[in-house]
Amino acid sequence: SFKLLGFLDVKNVPCARESVLYGSLGSLVVGLGHFLATSRVRRSCDFAVGGFIFTMLGYWFYCRYNFAQHRIRQRMLREGMKNKILFEGSSLDPERKQTGNERSNS
């Protein structure tokens, strides 16, 4: 496995790999773009590092937000399926049509 900065295991942490890859691409684009515009090497390297950090953190937060939403939807779906199995065929089943006798007994 590859550890970024010695502690971030890129293989096992969700969104880490994509964040590093997009950060590298952002670094290349920003650094090269600044160099082509100004022809200043040192300043372009500074912009490239800033582009890496900005792009990596931006994608990290975007990806983690979507990951959290996905996990919440999975949890809700799992609970809904569990409740469907639990209440299926009972009087508490919302999809079951109640007859006249069942309504008067309730």
DSSP code string of the chain? --EETTTEETTTSTTHHHHHHHHHHHHHHHHHHHHHHH--HHHHHHHHHHHHHHHHHHHHHHHHHHHHHHHHHHHHHHHHHHHHHHHTTSTT-TTSPP-HHHHHH-
Phi, psi of 11 (to 5 degrees): -75, -40
Phi, psi of 84 (to 5 degrees): -60, -45
Residue 48 forms part of a structural domain:
yes
Residue 39 forms part of a structural domain:
yes
Q: Domain limits at 36?
A: 14-86
pLDDT at 56: 92
Phi, psi of 87 (to 5 degrees): -100, 0
* Residue (of 32, 11, 23, 24) closest to 62 by Cα position: 23
Residue 94 forms part of a structural domain:
no
pTM for the model stands at: 0.69
Residue 41 forms part of a structural domain:
yes
Residue 106 forms part of a structural domain:
no
pLDDT in tens, the chain (106 residues): 666 666 667 777 788 889 989 999 999 999 999 999 999 999 999 999 999 999 999 999 999 999 999 999 999 999 888 877 777 777 766 666 665 555 555 5
Residue 35 forms part of a structural domain:
yes
Residue 4 forms part of a structural domain:
no
Residue 54 forms part of a structural domain:
yes
Contact by Cβ (8 Å): 11, 2: yes
Could you give the number of structural domains in the chain?
Answer: 1
